[in-house]
Amino acid sequence: KEIKLWGGRFQESVTDAVERFTESISFDKDLYKHDIRGSRAHASMLAKQGLISVGDEDSILTGLDAIERRIQNGEFVWRADREDVHMNIEAALTDLIGEPAKKLHTARSRNDQVATDFRLWCRDAIDSIVERIKDLQIAMVDLAIKNAGTIVPGYTHLQRAQPVLLQHLLLAFVEQLDRDSGRLLDCRSRLNFCPLGACALAGTGLPIDRFMTSNALGFSSPLRNSIDAVSDRDFAMEFLSANSITAIHLSRLGEEWVLWASEEFGFIAPNDSVSTGSSIMPQKKNPDPMELVRGKSARVVGDLVTLLTLCKGLPLAYNRDLQEDKEPVFDSVRTVLGMLEVSAEFARNISFNQDRIKKALPLGHLDATTLADYLVHKGVPFRTSHDIVGKCVTMCLGKNCQLKDLSLNDLRMLSPIFGDDVYEFLGVENAVSKFSSYGSTGSECVAGQLQYWIQKLGTG
């Protein structure tokens, strides 16, 4: 058995069970790029500060390049007996270049090393997610552009409420997604501080330059407090919180589309390329991708809860518990990236069923509120007009007709204020055209919103 990097004081080797239980290489090898990047910056800083020679720096950098290439080519052998990604790479470097490698861990602990790697990893992950969010926003905007003028029933309580432009509805999702990237970018700026040089917890007496490594790694500055630097994972909690909100948004989008693809709604027709079938019912065509978007949001929330619970009650500073921080974060990122990708794919592969939508519009008295507003225009207090229109709806139910089918005589039986011009307010097209408040579903407002997003996303 190889002697551990930390093996000096030990007289016995760890049991196989302990080795198996404590290793993290099986998952933290995902940090290799960031670990190597951190080591490069650290080695150059050590050389600049005179803590290692330039010759040693050169061999370390060349050695790290070789190791990175090997990993990328799948030639690197990850060893569980070398515990984690940090010691696998350091030990491999020692195998490769000998003595100089033994100087790399000067003024460094795995505690500040892993915190640095993890922040770098999360920073990259945030950038990838923000990019995917934008892809989905673009897919939604393109869908809006393709479906100009389409009116759909808007719902509250899943009951028909008021007519809205389909574009308006699609852009509501684009707005949510925009806040999702905003949250991630906020998190990114708070996360972007460098733990390296905090060492085990107390810093070091060796003359290191933390500002140099922080700069080289693209951080805003070194973290002020070495104890804080190695012990907190709030950046990851914040990241997974933002991911969870994104996932919940996507889950709601999933639900919307699953409903709309049903025979009962029939508003959208997904292409075969984004549908799956049944192993028993030959006729089935299911919107599984969006169901799974809805379903996978559960694990993203679960990942957040795992991380929060992990950190609850930990004493300062580093504790080995923190090794468990990686898998939930990796899972959350992998899952959210997949959810975003598939949602965009789905958006690009559905068409709106105009016939079904048109047939749905006359049902549910979507123009009732507009009719109440008509009476307000004529000076009727809103509460009174609400009551009058309520009675109009009851009359429609009796006659099995729509509001616009009521004769002027019928209407006047309920209020003498109704005039000929009332028919300009009835029917979904008229009703939609009456909306004009900022942010409303009126066609000018929606056109303005669409223009805003086309410009902001550089699409269209």
Q: Is 278 a catalytic residue?
A: yes
> CA torsion angle for 33, 36, 42, 48 (degrees, to 10)?
-110
Q: Please identify, using beta-carbon distances, which residue of 323 and 449 lies nearer to ligand ARG.
A: 323
Peptide bond into 317 cis (omega under 30): yes
Burial string for 411-437 (b: 16+ CB within 10 Å, else e) reads beebbebbeeebeebbbbebbbbbbee
Query: Residue 106 region, left (φ>0) first, then alpha (ψ -120 to 50), else beta?
Result: beta
Residue 208: strand, helix, or coil: coil
CA atoms within 13 A on the CB side of 249: 23
Task: Tell me how far, at minimum, the Cβ of 228 lies from ligand ARG, in Å.
Answer: 16
Q: Please identify, using beta-carbon distances, which residue of 13 and 415 lies nearer to ligand ARG.
A: 13
Query: Residue 149 region, left (φ>0) first, then alpha (ψ -120 to 50), else beta?
Result: left
Q: Please identify, using beta-carbon distances, which residue of 116 and 433 lies nearer to ligand ARG.
A: 116
* From 128, 262, 278, 436, the catalytic residue: 278
Q: Which two tokens stand for residue 398?
A: 């009796």
Q: Please identify, using beta-carbon distances, which residue of 110 and 434 lies nearer to ligand ARG.
A: 110
Q: Which residues pair with 153 in a beta bridge?
A: 163
**CA–CA distance, 375 with 389 (Å, rounded to integer):** 9
Q: State the residue for tokens 């992998």.
A: 334
Residues that bind ligand ARG (CB under 6 A): 24, 28, 84, 110-111, 114, 318, 320, 322-323
CA atoms within 13 A on the CB side of 169: 21
Task: Tell me how far, at minimum, the Cβ of 91 lies from ligand ARG, in Å.
Answer: 14
**CA–CA distance, 35 with 22 (Å, rounded to integer):** 19
Q: Is 157 a catalytic residue?
A: yes
Task: Tell me how far, at minimum, the Cβ of 28 lies from ligand ARG, in Å.
Answer: 6
**CA–CA distance, 5 with 11 (Å, rounded to integer):** 14
Q: Please identify, using beta-carbon distances, which residue of 145 and 201 lies nearer to ligand ARG.
A: 201
> CA torsion angle for 109, 112, 115, 120 (degrees, to 10)?
-100
Q: Please identify, using beta-carbon distances, which residue of 243 and 323 lies nearer to ligand ARG.
A: 323
Q: What's phi and psi for 286, nearest 5 deg?
A: -110, 145
What does the DSSP 8-state code read for residue 158? T
Q: Please identify, using beta-carbon distances, which residue of 137 and 226 lies nearer to ligand ARG.
A: 226
Q: Annotate 345-389 with DSSP letters as a single string.
A: HHHTTEEE-HHHHHHHTTTT-TTHHHHHHHHHHTT--HHHHHHHH
What does the DSSP 8-state code read for residue 2? P
> CA torsion angle for 74, 80, 84, 87 (degrees, to 10)?
-80
Q: Which residues are catalytic?
A: 157, 278
